[in-house]
Structure 1
Amino acid sequence: MKNNDNNTTESKEFSQFTINRRQFLQTGTALVTLPFITSKSIAADTADSKTGLPDLGEEERVVQTCSTFDCGGKCDIRAHVKQGTVVRISSRPEGALDPEMPVMRACVRGRGYRKFVYHPNRLKYPMLRVGKRGEGKFKQISWDDATTLIAEKMKQITAQHGPASRFVHTATGVSGGAFSGNTMVKRLLNLTGGYLRYYHSVSMGNTAAATPYTYGTAASGSSLDTLLDTKLVILWGHNPTETIFGHTNHFYQQMKKNGTRFIVVDPRYSDSAISFADQWIPLLPTTDNALMDAMMYVIVTEGLHDKAFIDRYTLGFDESSMPEGVAENESLISYLTGKKDGVLKTPEWAEKITKVPAQTIRQLARNYATTKPAALIQGWGPQRHNCGERSARGSTLLATITGNVGVKGGWAGGYGGIASRKFMTGVEQGDNPVKARISIMNWMQAVDDASKVRPEDGLKDADKLDTNIKMIFSLAGNYMANQNPDINQAVKLLEDESKVEFIVASDLYLTPSAKYADLLLPETSFMERWNIGETWGTGSYFMLSEKLIEPDFQRRSDYEWLREVAEKLGVEPAFSEGRDEKQWIELIVEQTRLAMPDENLPTFEQLLKQRQHLFKSQPHVAFAKNISDPANHPFPTPSGKIEIFSQRLYDMNNPEIPALSHYVPAHEGPEDALKDKYPLQMITWKGKHRANSTQYANPWLQEVHLQTLWMNPADAERRSLAEGDEVRIYNDRGVSIIPVEITPRVMPGVVAMRAGAWWSPDKDGVDRGGCPNVLTSARITALAKGNSHQTLLVEVKKA
């Protein structure tokens, strides 16, 4: 099956990438017997009568493992391995659950991993581009040629443009593991002069940047076991049922059984609303702060605020608690009562903006203020707007004036990171001689013209960039094109070979981003390499991700070929320290043990048996010490208090980020004049069948949900649209054509599309894959210099 012919091929025709099921079944009887493609020729004269799978004449080994994708669950999957092949995926037995930190059963994504790994369209050989960039034309080359080319290009580009011309793109395909090629390529680059770094998380960077302006830190979250007796939870743009925060859902289910009332605030009636909500309150995207302002107006004017808490712990509530040197009427009370701008922030005022009825706003405010304790938990979706920093701080103000900060059962709002969480030590990357850092949102500017990236645009630790980006490594990442907030702008830059001179992409599939590679490498899946899976969100445990099977064809882990590149650059001993992949995992485990002597962590040998470790810790209430003992534990803000009013933001004098977080009409929001041309607000959400764009190529998971555009019946009627009609979704940035799904689960004036579908342009450049990023904007936020791709206006017509 291995073919070394260096034939020039078109990606749409090349059998490495596009063998369909019918062609696959015609390739030979030796392969037909296997559940999915493998290079091992195994006869199967008999099959197991229960599973229908071939009887391979060997006892099955069941291994507890997890993926290392950017997935919030890190759930327990059990791989059934027989004669070097994973023949089935199951999950932990019912009842095998640690209530202190539950490792959840596999979701639909976890159940589908085998199809993703054993798929005929996976990349098989190293490939060199032979057509224009983006055409997808490649020829097969040897690994020796591939690593020689990388080493030569690194030397050449570094000599000509300097190490700051080298860039490693974001890679969520491996970000759930303690060890990855994405990490190790940074280690190699640091050994050879450094590279241009980026900061900011496209998931939650805006709220992480904004929260410290209230509390002095982003770590504003409590452990979920402190919420079991909470009387009221408001899930504000939070959808854990579909994004699969496994442990989160476990605790929410327990709370529901305990009688907790759930209110969901979201433009869309999500699966989380179905699962938990006693009440759904839809509001127009980007108007969160108007709803928050009106809630605070009701709470304050009806005397429902916690005056004693406010007087003791806060700055900026009223004029008497303002810092010196600030103009009059900048306090929260002055803003709410119209002393600053002449506008009372009443529910009636907010109703016109948000479309939430005034009486609903009043009742929501009263419920939140009078239910003790209560938790307003904001998800990461609302902060992916160009008003996201304001809405993140708005949730902290609501929590503050109701006294829900630092108390068991309350929630401080904002980012929600947990200070008590523990992580593996990871791999030492070494010092980077290049000190400049850009926001991930600046990378296109740095490709096009480095002089466009200034400190006011997001550049940090430098006054200017000395060079454009000339070399890109994209290892297990699809952000370079597909997940970039403006695909059309990104691919125009990537197609121009006078800009980036060399692009290395490594992946499992020919993703839309991988088509723009000059050198395309076949990466191994998590089942074919060693790693440690780590949780994020509210989880606090790790799990061994063992190498279960040998990679087929010429697939190699990124670390393996990086060692070869390091050897050709003369730095292999320093790069690898003589360790193979498994030995690095052993080192990470041992270093973590040394760093946490009180945790009683397992040795690597013990981990091979027990498979996982739960970090045991006491229930954690964010800011509990700051509230119980403020004299010895002041808030880490300039004033030592919770800053409802931020002097630091006030001194910036930027209307996009007011010192007192409040409603400001958003660009491409419901009050933008562009709404006359594009009258519908569009949002995206992360469906349960893929993590970002990972697993899009899995046909099983494509069957879970078709890619459709959700539209309210009232909007569909105005456009004479019927269920299933092909519709043209468009704005000034791009066009996508997919079927429409007419449903009352999205409010009027708003349309919604699942994120992460692969861009599939036709000959006219019109996307046929339902990729929302042909429509989204690359506008950066004012404070974090982060992404605001959820803020966009579109129109929809029948195609």
Structure 2
Amino acid sequence: MQIFASHFGFYEVSPGPVLRPFRHDPAPSATGLAHLDLARDPSRVMQPMARRGWLEGDKGAARGEDVFVPLTMEAATRLAADEIARVRGTHGNGAIFGGSYGWASAGRFHHAQSQLKRFLNLAGGFVSTVNTYSYGTAKVILPHVLGAEHAESGVFAPSWDQIVAQCRVILAFGGMRLSNAQVEAGSTGAHRTADWLAAYSAAGGRIITLSPDASDAPQGEHLAIRPGTDTAAMLGMAHVLWSEGRLERGFLDRCTVGAEQVIAYLSGTEDGVPKTADWAAAITGLGADDLRRLARLLTDEPSLINLSWSLQRARYGEQPYWAAVALAAMVGRIGQPGQGLALGLSAIASVGQPVRKLRGPALPVGRNPVSAFIPVARLTDMLERPGEVLDYDGQCLTLPNIRLIWWAGGNPYHHHQDLNRLRAAWKRPETVIVQESVWTATARHADLVFPSALPFERADVAAASRDSWIGYSARVMDPPQGVLTDHETLARVAAHLGLEDAFRGGRTEHQWLQHIYEGYAAEFPELPDWDSFRLQGFAQLDAGEAAPAPYTPLAAFVADPGAAPLSTPSGKIELASAVVAGFGYADCPGHPVWLDPDEPGDLPFRMLSPQPETRLHSQLDRAGPARQARWKGLERLRANPADLLAAGVAVGDVAELYNDRGIVLVAATADPKVGQGTLVLPTGGWFNPVRDALDRVVDLGGNPNTLTADLGSSRLSQGASANHPRVGLRALRDPGLLKKLEDLA
């Protein structure tokens, strides 16, 4: 069987070629069937291209506004190698920044981040990044609270079999979108979250969702909460538990430190403001009686608190996660099967799946001789403020002076915030090199662009570390003439630097795939041999086994905290952290607190930017489902009908979404599921800034990050803070933009 393994799961390849649903997948993603749409799309990068002004020595002045000229691969790789040699010789490797991200490919070999790191490390090193846009705030706060072993995304959740059997109430902050559970970084052969939700409901389980958008609720009861106020709701519930004598004191005494400090804060002893249900109701827009009811349910029923990842992608995003840990600890169900706390159920396909996890080798990247790094979400700060200091998790990082950016397998003009600010800062380096399959905004803002083969134009081994499926992702079709894999392009650049043999590692691409697979097979001898695996196209651990692999976070620790301590300083759950308090960060004190993340200003709406159903991030934006989802070529803005009326915008109108960071053109649609005061624009539209007749820069691509704030979540994590910026909505002011849209179409 020929398989194509994508972030949306496995697909069978039929003659044509045509992708069809994988026969073992109970809920295959329709979106992933559209991958082959990109093969001959006009947006493909078909040959190496260089920006004319860069070739003439403008050092970035016209970057993003210039024309490109074609080059041969030999000339382009020589130019790239010469730039590496020039920058490291003149300024040192600390002036080279290697940008990438993990979603370029589900394969383990053609993983652009690993390929680029391997190349740049061999070339003397580079300034790197830590953490992610998706989970960067949680990744920093959780080691202080639960230990580093529980800080990775997707690891902290009871398994679904335990939830179905033991839990009767899930309190879901931020929602549980099933469309998010259709994706997985390393692909999967079976999407089962919907089946588990159905089983949970059939067993009598209830889900109560707190979110500004009822679309976030997969089933059960929905309560509309004001954006960004989840921490206040949790503190109000915790106050109910304390004031009504419902705290599980035995658990707090055995398994936590800092409970009395948190209680002093809840009671008002610390700051004179009791965090009562009425106090929380005034902030959140929820009813005080609802908050009391929910708090009591958590102790009266076998319960689980689930947090979406989106909650920590906000200003003070540490606080909802820390507050949730405190609330769950006060309930006392952490460590019990299927109960307590979960971080990200339905965030991606693998979270909570009761399976044995695949572990295997990745492409070796070597050692980076350059120690300098930045938190990934502080890209613009690095470019704007070289030599200045950035606080981060108790450290003071000196921001490097970057002369060369090399980006592969990522699109910062999707992930990053305040894109107009990034666009200005992006002109500062002398050279930007990008490897890309299509003309994204990142490619259009480069100096030298290498074409990259798409995932279905190369073979690979696909596997997710938290899944039980492994796939041989076949080369479905040949790439266009002259379009290479990222590996081959980097190998040719390495050849000019005398590093080709070291980069290739003595193996062809096919031999690397076999080597990686055999590393998995060595760890799991029940997997088939390489030739059988390629012929079958996939393998699964425990295939046909009825018994799942249950998992309960912190079970061993709760059973005996002394014998199985956490890696926190106390060995326990730290509801208050002396380490964090010692950093002296006013925006992240030593225990969970309410810090209002709302922006100043009088714009009437808060914008949410969830993942779309029709693409992954900005991928597949040019494929059928994403094209069909647009209206008049524009991204659809979802708004409460009353808010459209108040803004003077009719359904179907082309409208302007705006704040002082930019303007985005959208198509207005009415949806009563969206709470009043909230506007919803999905992420991933391709940033496409143009200047209109009023001399304004307007994004025609519908990218919400044109409007989001580029601020660190706090000085602790410096994570992304994309959630709920203030925005306005108004009628289109320059009808001439409609003609530009038609021209683009």
Report the TM-score, using the length of structure 1 for normalisation.
Answer: 0.82
Tell me the alpha carbon deviations over residues 428-455 of structure 1, each in whole angstroms, 9 at most, x when there is no partner. 1111110111111232233233212x25
Is the contact between residue 390 and residue 661 of structure 1 (CA under 8 Å) also seen in structure 2?
yes
Structure 2 residue aligned with 1:647: 578
Conserved? CA contact 1:92–1:105, under 8 Å: no
User: What is the CA distance between 1:153 and its match in structure 2?
Assistant: 1.1
The aligned residue for residue 303 of structure 1 is 245
Say yes or no: does 1:736 pair with 2:664.
yes
Give the match for residue 56 of structure 1.
none
Residue matched to 2:32: 110
Residue 186 of structure 2 is matched in structure 1 by none
Q: Determine if the alignment matches structure 1 residue 253 to structure 2 residue 198.
A: yes
Equivalent position amino acid for 1:654 in 2: Y
3-state DSSP of counterpart to 1:210: helix
Q: Does 1:196 align with 2:127?
A: yes
Q: Which moved more, 1:130-139 or 1:394-403?
A: 130-139
- Residue 678 of structure 1 is aligned with which of 600, 603, 607? 603
**1:657 matched to 2:588:** yes
Residue 541 (structure 2) pairs with residue 612 (structure 1): no
Q: CA deviation at 1:424?
A: 2.8
Q: Quick one: which of 477, 480, 484 aligns to 2:416?
A: 484
Q: Secondary structure at the match of 2:698?
A: coil
| AA matched with 1:787 | A
**Equivalent runs, 1:120-199 vs 2, <5 Å:** 120-131=42-53, 132-135=62-65, 137-174=67-104, 176-179=106-109, 180-199=111-130
Amino acid at match of 1:407: Q
Q: Work out whether 1:503 is the aligned partner of 2:432.
A: yes
Shift of 1:292: 0.3
Once residues 372 and 690 of structure 2 are traced to their aligned partners in structure 1, the CA distance between those partners, rounded to angstroms, is: 39
Give distance in 2, aligned partners of 1:150 and 1:220: 42
In structure 2, the partner of 1:427 is 363
**Cα separation, partners in 2 of 1:411 and 1:542, compared to 1, 3 Å:** farther
Partner in structure 1 of residue 224 of structure 2: 282
2:57 alignment counterpart: none
Tell me which residue corresponds to 1:100.
none
Note if contact 2:132-2:377 (Cα within 8 Å) is conserved in structure 1.
Answer: no
Partner of 1:790: 723
Amino acid at match of 1:468: N
Counterpart for residue 188 of structure 2? none
Partner of 2:740: none
Among 10, 31, 35, which residue is 1:76 paired with? Answer: 10
RMSD (CA atoms): 2.3
Contact conserved, 1:211 with 1:414, CA < 8 A, in 2?
Answer: no
Larger Rg: 1
Provide the C-alpha distance between the structure 2 equivalents of 1:612 and 1:421, rounded to a whole number of angstroms.
Answer: 15
Contact 2:440 2:686 in 1 (8 A): yes
Any idea what the Cα deviations from partners look like across 1:237-258, whole Å, max 9, x if unmatched? 1333122343333322322232
Native 8 Å contact 2:356 2:541 kept in 1: no
Mapped contact 1:183–1:427 kept (Cα < 8 A): yes
Deviation by residue 1:685-713 (Cα, 9 ceiling, x = unmatched): 11111111111111442213541222222
1:685 aligned counterpart, secondary structure: coil
**Equivalent runs, 1:364-763 vs 2, <5 Å:** 364-372=294-302, 374-414=303-343, 421-452=357-388, 454-456=389-391, 464=398, 467-479=400-412, 481-494=413-426, 496=427, 499-535=428-464, 539-594=467-522, 596=523, 598=524, 600-615=526-541, 618-668=549-599, 672=600, 674=601, 677-706=602-631, 707-763=635-691
Aligned length: 689
Contact 2:402 2:429 in 1 (8 A): yes
1:76 and 1:104 in contact (8 A); partners too: no
* Alignment correspondent of 2:213: 268
What residue in structure 1 maps to residue 2 of structure 2?
63
Structure 2 CA distance for partners of 1:700 and 1:455, relative to 1, 3 Å: closer
- Per-residue displacement from partner, 1:653-676 (whole Å, max 9, x unpaired)? 3232122212111151xxx4x2xx
The 1:283/1:463 distance shift into structure 2, 3 A limit, reads closer
* C-alpha distance in structure 2 between counterparts of 1:388 and 1:729, whole Å: 24
Find 1:212's aligned residue among 131, 143, 155. Answer: 143
**1:41 alignment counterpart:** none
- Amino acid across the alignment from 2:70: Q
What's the CA shift string for 1:68-94, capped at 9, x where partnerless?
A: xxx4xx522112135xxx2x211123x
Residues 351 and 765 of structure 1: is their aligned pair in 2 closer, same or farther, counting only changes over 3 Å? Answer: same
Q: Which residue of 2 aligns with 1:773?
A: 705
Distance 1:705 1:363 in 2: 41
d(CA) in 2 for partners of 1:658, 1:256: 39
SS at match of 2:289: helix
1:744, 1:516 → 2: CA distance?
39
Deviation at 1:619, TM superposition (A): 1.2
Superposition map of 1:309-388 within 5 A: 309-318=251-260, 331-372=261-302, 374-388=303-317
Which amino acid in 1 is paired with 2:128? Answer: R
Which segment is superposed worse, 162-171 or 538-547?
538-547
Helix, strand or coil at the partner of 2:498: coil
Is 1:223 aligned to 2:151, yes or no? no
Task: Measure how far apart 1:534 and its partner are.
Answer: 2.9
Q: Which amino acid in 2 is paired with 1:695?
A: L
Residue 540 of structure 1: how far off its partner (Å):
4.2
Equivalent position of 2:738 in the other structure? none
1:438 partner SS: strand
Q: Normalising to structure 2: TM-score of the pair?
A: 0.88
| Aligned counterpart, 2:737 | none
8 Å contact from structure 1 (residues 438, 458) kept in 2 = no
Return the letter of the residue paired with 2:728. Answer: E
* Preserved contact between residue 286 and residue 387 of structure 1 (Cα < 8 Å): no
Runs of 5+ consecutive residues of structure 1 not aligned to the other structure: 1-61, 97-102, 319-330
Query: Residue 3 of structure 1 corresponds to which residue in structure 2?
Result: none
> Tell me, what secondary structure is at the counterpart of 1:228?
helix
* Separation of aligned partners in 2, 1:247 and 1:197: 36
**Structure 1 526/408 Cα, relative in aligned 2: closer, same or farther at 3 Å?**
same
C-alpha change, 1:234 and 1:541, in structure 2 (3 Å) is farther
Does 520-529 or 608-617 show the bigger shift?
A: 608-617
CA contact (8 A) 1:472 1:502 kept: yes
Between 1:380-389 and 1:242-251, the stretch displaced more is 242-251
Whether the 8 Å contact between 2:133 and 2:415 is mirrored in structure 1 is: no
Q: Amino acid of the residue matched to residue 110 of structure 1?
A: G
Letter in 2 for 1:197: S
Name the CA shift for 1:159/1:399 in 2 (closer, same or farther; >3 Å). Answer: same
Are the equivalent residues in 1 in contact too, given 2:358–2:464 (CA < 8 A)? no
1:239 and 2:176 correspond? yes
- Aligned in 2, Cα 1:345/1:463: closer, same or farther, shift over 3 Å? closer
Q: Which amino acid aligns with 1:647?
A: A
CA apart distance, 1:390: 0.6
CA distance in 2, matches of 1:628, 1:615: 29
Change (3 A) 1:313 1:389: same
Native 8 Å contact 1:173 1:694 kept in 2: no
Using the TM superposition, give the Cα deviation of residue 632 of structure 1 relative to its aligned residue in structure 2, in angstroms: 0.9
CA distance in 1, matches of 2:372, 2:393: 11
